[in-house]
Structure 1
Amino acid sequence: MNQSKSVRAILADDERLMREQLRSRLMEVWPELEIVAEAKNGIEAVELVRQHRPELVFLDIRMPGLTGVDAARQIAQLPEDDDWLVPEIVFITAYDQYAVEAFEQGVADYVLKPAERERLLVTVDRIKKRLALKQADGEAADESSAARASAPLQQLLHKLSSQLNPGGAPKYLQWIQATVGQAIQMIPVEDVLFFISDEKYTRVQTARVEALIRKPIKELVDELDPALFWQIHRSTLVNARAIDGITRDFRGRQMVGVKGVTEKLEVSRSYTQLFKGM
């Protein structure tokens, strides 16, 4: 992100009065912020992010068509480039306590309805710090900021979904049905070292076999235990227990070494904070 570029934001809430109230409060506490568009639902929000490529998105958790949590999942999977990274997410919510506990542990922030000036000031301060870390692009972070950025957005979304939809722990995939040569094989999920997707297939790599499935990474992210599989790139999930070490290549990119294989896995810029301090 260019230092001279202003921070641009998108507001998404199905209640017009709530959008107006939040916009008004933001003008008070962050007058430099540029609100480039507003959405009435999650589907519009994803499309507006695709069009405008903002640095910040405010998402109401409960919206018709596509919830804020589901919209955030799709936004987190949008392709990045040298000029744009996945935006910071702030959830707008009427829920407190349980949901807020999930936010406090994650890499996104929250605003309680209706937005109050003092709490919004705290949110804005956190956002500015996280944006500064992105701007530094690999520079050392202070301890508190690094702690908040230590888990990818997708892991927060898993926690948030379970908080907002009580009824037991989520059921994660235990087996992968994959093609190995001409045969179909059932592979225990815990044996998988990593998943890598291309345009048509996802490669499933274990210590003994290499297999193919048609399920994309964006679906696997929702079906695998986030404590076991870490997303390190929009096309890569790695078994945390199989990580052997982190190095940098000649271009300065973080590369993950995996036990039992010589292949290195690239860490995209959105996920470099996962390995701070390692």
Structure 2
Amino acid sequence: MLTMPTALIAEDEELLAAHLRQELAALWPELRIVATAPHGTAAVELALQHQPDLCFLDIRMPGQTGLEAAEQLAEDWPEGRPLPLLVFVTAYDQYALQAFERAAVDYVLKPVQRERLAQTVQRLQQALAQRQGAQGPAQDAVLAQLRALLGSPAAGQAPAAATLRHLQVGVGSGILMLPLDEVLYLEAADKYLRVQTADKDYLVRVSLRELLPQLDPQRFWQIHRGTIVQVDAIHRLSRDDNGKLTLHLRQRPETLGVSRMYAHLFKAL
């Protein structure tokens, strides 16, 4: 027996949120809007609380963008529950639209037009019907779409720069040229990155999203939205009863969790 589908709308402009809600009610009367969020942080909190089937995410919101909210949802979503299908709501931006199309992620333009939204509704209805009894593949598809979108420069990443060999780290009144060979992992810490070597840690005023395109992707892997690890620093992996991966390092006692967004990196191991 099919249950009524549920949705969350994340939009910081009240009039646009109300308009989208009204249009969805006309096109899809069975759809139940369980929450409306005014910004990205609230979108994550409300989505985790209500666990809707669909999320309509404004791509540009205060605090967290729609893309950042989607990434956090993918990482924090309860095990055993299918991830929500995602629709991004955006103003016209040629490069963003190209990124959405390459990632096969659905989107609607502001102001929302009923004819275009009707196409999205039809796709969503088909996707919900197809994933009944096929939770695993459907979840894998959502994760693959998000990974493709996050990996696209048009989706907000800086263009790839020359591969770094050193990090410039402020130490007292000087600057240490830290070879990347010595870096075991990097963790986001507010506006900084914590850089961990075998015996020391440093703070660098740069965001993970800015630094990641400059790192050698064969040597440094993102394993969480806030963590990058040097592959050679990994000693072994363990998996718990829910399938969650944990990395054990060669030269450090702490362990690092791998989010479901990046667990595919280790499937061949």
> For the Cα contact (< 8 Å) 1:46–1:71, is it kept in 2?
no
Q: Which has the larger radius of gyration?
A: 2
Q: How many residues align?
A: 253
> For the Cα contact (< 8 Å) 1:10–1:38, is it kept in 2?
yes
- Aligned equivalent of 1:100: 97
> For the Cα contact (< 8 Å) 2:246–2:258, is it kept in 1?
yes
Distance change >3 Å, CA 199–CA 170, structure 1 → 2: closer
> For the Cα contact (< 8 Å) 2:9–2:36, is it kept in 1?
yes
Distance 1:30 1:245 in 2: 53
Distance 1:152 1:98 in 2: 14
Tell me which amino acid in the other structure corresponds to 2:222: Q
Tell me which amino acid in the other structure corresponds to 2:108: V
2:48 is equivalent to residue 60 of structure 1: no
1:159 to 151, 154, 163: 154
Give the drift of 1:9. 0.8
Distance 1:8 1:95 in 2: 23
Structure 1 stretches lacking a partner, 5+ long = 163-167
Distance 1:214 1:127 in 2: 44
Counterparts of 1:210-249 in structure 2 under 5 Å? 210-213=200-203, 215=205, 219-225=207-213, 228=217, 229-239=220-230, 242=232, 247-249=237-239
Distance 2:128 2:235 in 1: 30
Distance change >3 Å, CA 234–CA 96, structure 1 → 2: closer
TM-score (norm 1): 0.60
Percent identity (aligned): 26
- Aligned equivalent of 1:11: 10
Give the drift of 1:269. 3.2
Distance 2:72 2:209 in 1: 10
2:87 is equivalent to residue 90 of structure 1: yes
Equivalent position SS for 1:58? strand
CA RMSD in angstroms, aligned pairs only: 5.1
Equivalent position SS for 1:232? strand
- Aligned equivalent of 1:195: 186
> For the Cα contact (< 8 Å) 1:150–1:276, is it kept in 2?
no
Distance 2:251 2:47 in 1: 40
Give the drift of 1:12. 1.0
Equivalent position SS for 1:196? strand
> For the Cα contact (< 8 Å) 1:76–1:153, is it kept in 2?
no
2:45 to 38, 47, 50: 50
Give the drift of 1:236. 1.7
Distance change >3 Å, CA 176–CA 22, structure 1 → 2: farther
Deviations 1:13-54 (A, max 9, x none): 537257424542366347244341153xxxx34335435635
Give the drift of 1:102. 0.8
Structure 2 stretches lacking a partner, 5+ long = none
Distance 2:29 2:175 in 1: 56
Equivalent position SS for 1:185? strand
